Structures are given as C-alpha cells and as structure tokens.
Amino acid sequence: MTKQIFMTRRIPARAEEMLRGAGYGVTVSSKDGVLTRDELKKALAQAPYDAVVPLLTDTIDADMIAAMPPSVKIIASYSVGFNHIDIPKAKERGIVVTNTPEVLTATVAEHTVALILTLASRTAEGDRFIREGKFVGWEPMLLLGTDIKNKTLGLVGAGRIGSEVAGILYNGFGMKIVYYDTKKNEALEALCDAKHYTTYEEVLAQSDVVSIHVPLLPATHHLINKERLALMKKSALLVNTSRGPVVDELALVSALKAGTIRGAALDVFEFEPNITPELLTLQNVVVNPHLASATEETRTKMAELVATNIIEHLSGRTAPNALA
Ligand code: DGY
C-alpha cells in the first residue's frame, strides 16, 4: 500500500517532490494558516498516515499524539526547535520524532547578527523616522547608536547557533566572547578565545550584548527575568532568536522603560503570535515575526531534511535527525 504523509501546512516544494519521488502519497492541509486543535485532529483521522509533518506552530502534545492514527511511525518537524512536541509520549507510542538541525545554523546566526547591528546602529528607528517625514537634514545628535567593535558578547547557550554568532562577531568585530552553557565548548574556546562561566549571572553582568541561544525547557522558561535583567549593564543590548518564553516579556518591558538595559531585539515572543502591546510602543525595541531561518536556501534545505528523515525511517533505516 502507498505510504501516506500528512503536512499541516505547505512548506517548500522540495519536500513533496522528494516524498512523491519515493513513491509516497502526500496530503497538505488546504488551510492557509495554522490548524486549530480540532481541525488538526480531524485532519489526522482522514487516512492511515505513516508520517506527520508539523510546524513549530502546531502543539503536538500527549492529547494530539493520542489522536494520531496507529499507522503513524514518524513525526518529522519542519523546525530545529522541538519544544512543541511531547517526545516521551511519541516514543511511548513507538513514533520517532525528527527535527532539522544544522542546515539553519548559519542563517539564524546571520539574522541574529543583523538584529544586533540594527539595534546598536538604530537603523530601524532611522527607517521609521524617515517614513514619518521627520528627516530635515543631518544633525550632530540625531539617533546616536553604539559601537559593538571590541565590546563583549555574552552567549546564553553556546550550541551550534550561539557558536556561529560568536564566530562572526569575534572575527568580524573583535568582540570578546563570554558564555554560559551547561557544558564547556572547547571548540568555541579554541576558535574565539571564549570564556566559559557556570552561572548566567556572571555572563549577564559583563556583557555589552547578550544573545540567547537556549532551547525552551522548563529550566529555561523566564530565564531572563526581572532579577537577571537588573544584573545587566545599563548600556547592554539583549537579543533573542531562540524561543519567546525564555524571556519574561513584562519584566523586559519594565527594564526597557526604566533604562535598566539599553535595548532589545526579538525575533520570538512569549505569547507568539501575540506580542505584549507595550513592547511595540518602545523605540528601543526591534521586533521581527520569527524570521531567523527565513531564507529561500535554508527553508528549502529544511524541507529536504524533513523528507530525508521520513524516507530513511519509512525505509527501515535510521532517520538522521531522530531525537532521543
Ligand atoms: C526553528 O526551526 O525552530 C526556528 O525557530 C525557525 O526559525
């Protein structure tokens, strides 16, 4: 019988091409938007699917896994993050879960650096200033930013993406690199002369730019809270391209309003797609609609990886990105 794949949303065509090329049937949700829980459950019940491709906007919790037909053998997420999937529950049902690591590392790192530079150089504010018709000519004190050259980058999480960000800013901007991670990253230390700290607090207190690169786990929820923001330099910039709930958004708003830190750039939000309204009233905030991996090349590579994981697993081999 033809193996059947269900995708909760259209992703780059490469995935479907590869899956159809392998002889599988592919059903893509016809809704132009995120399926509600009921819609997703209903869609899953339509056929004896062998594989499900969710996005990070689909919550695949125990209840959703229970709603999947018994035929499902793999959940191949079109994302590197997997906090939206209950992996132990999937395992209990004998379902393998995969993600899309590595192919998006360089793109997310580039995007993170773009946000840091945007914040430091106030280019988003400058853009708004012109569009609002306020530009009347060069001014000596207009929208003064801050340099990042030779300053200190503090990484909260020094995995693949954090390390790539450090490499760009160390080599291109001479930044000193300090990092918190549960493990020492010997490669990062060798490449960027990075210094490891065993507490968040030590990193936050000495950094001019703090960039967050931890997964969302119970232990990292609200990792950046009122107390930790208070430890940061008044001149510091905070950038988050990981997951929104790592930052307590209300605490961040208060810190930005009080001048506890200089500014923040956010690609992700605590209650995504909702944004704490006050954030949008602050000029020292740069916001982006979760775009860090959004290049044509990378999104296509992510689609390829989704298809590869499914094909390998359904062919009886090990999916390259199976999560433990
Ligand atoms: C992911 O894939 O988890 C990223 O957040 C997408 O940008």
Of the listed 17, 39, 110, 272, which one is catalytic? 272
Q: Is the beta carbon of 292 within 6 A of some atom in ligand 1?
A: yes
Domains in the chain: boundaries: 4-102+296-314, 105-287
Q: Is the beta carbon of 215 within 6 A of some atom in ligand 1?
A: no
Inter-axis angle of helices 296-314 and 13-21, nearest 10: 30
CATH topology of domain 105-287: Rossmann fold (3.40.50)
Q: Is the beta carbon of 241 within 6 A of some atom in ligand 1?
A: no
Closest Cα to atom 6 of ligand 1: 293
Token pair listed for 312: 């390998």
Rounded Cα distance between 202 and 195, Å, is 11
Whole-number average pLDDT of the chain? 98
The band of 56, judged by pLDDT with boundaries at 50, 70 and 90, is very high
Q: Please give the C-alpha separations between residue 24 and each of 68, 233, 285, 311, in angstroms, as whole numbers.
A: 18, 55, 46, 9
- pLDDT of the residue at 277: 97
Is residue 243 flagged as an active site residue? yes
With beta carbons less than 8 A apart as the criterion, state whether 161 and 109 touch: yes
Among 78, 116, 113, smallest CA distance to 97 is for: 78
Q: Is the beta carbon of 81 within 6 A of some atom in ligand 1?
A: yes
| 4-102+296-314 CATH choice from 3.20.10.10, 3.40.50.620, 3.30.450.20, 3.40.50.720 | 3.40.50.720
What is the Cα Rg of the chain in Å? 21
Interval 206-213 mean pLDDT: 98
Is residue 290 flagged as an active site residue? yes
- pLDDT of the residue at 4: 98
Closest Cα to atom 3 of ligand 1: 81
Is residue 196 flagged as an active site residue? no
Token pair listed for 309: 């994981």
Interval 169-186 mean pLDDT: 98
Interval 271-283 mean pLDDT: 97
Interval 292-314 mean pLDDT: 98
- pLDDT of the residue at 324: 83
Rounded Cα distance between 322 and 245, Å, is 25
The band of 113, judged by pLDDT with boundaries at 50, 70 and 90, is very high
Closest Cα to atom 5 of ligand 1: 81
What ligand 1 atom has the least distance to the C-alpha of 291? 7
- pLDDT of the residue at 135: 98
- pLDDT of the residue at 298: 98
Q: Is the beta carbon of 83 within 6 A of some atom in ligand 1?
A: no
Q: Tell how far CA 9 is from the center of its chain.
A: 19
**Would you say the CATH fold of 105-287 matches that of 4-102+296-314?**
yes
- pLDDT of the residue at 295: 98
CA atoms within 13 A on the CB side of 160: 12
Q: Please give the C-alpha separations between residue 197 and each of 124, 175, 189, 209, 225, in angstroms, as whole numbers.
A: 33, 17, 12, 16, 19
Sequence-distant (≥ 6) Cβ neighbours of residue 85 within 8 angstroms: 54, 60, 75, 77, 97
Q: Residue 101: pLDDT above 90?
A: yes
Expressed in angstroms and rounded, the spacing between residue 37 Cα and the centre of ligand 1 is 21
Expressed in angstroms and rounded, the spacing between residue 80 Cα and the centre of ligand 1 is 5
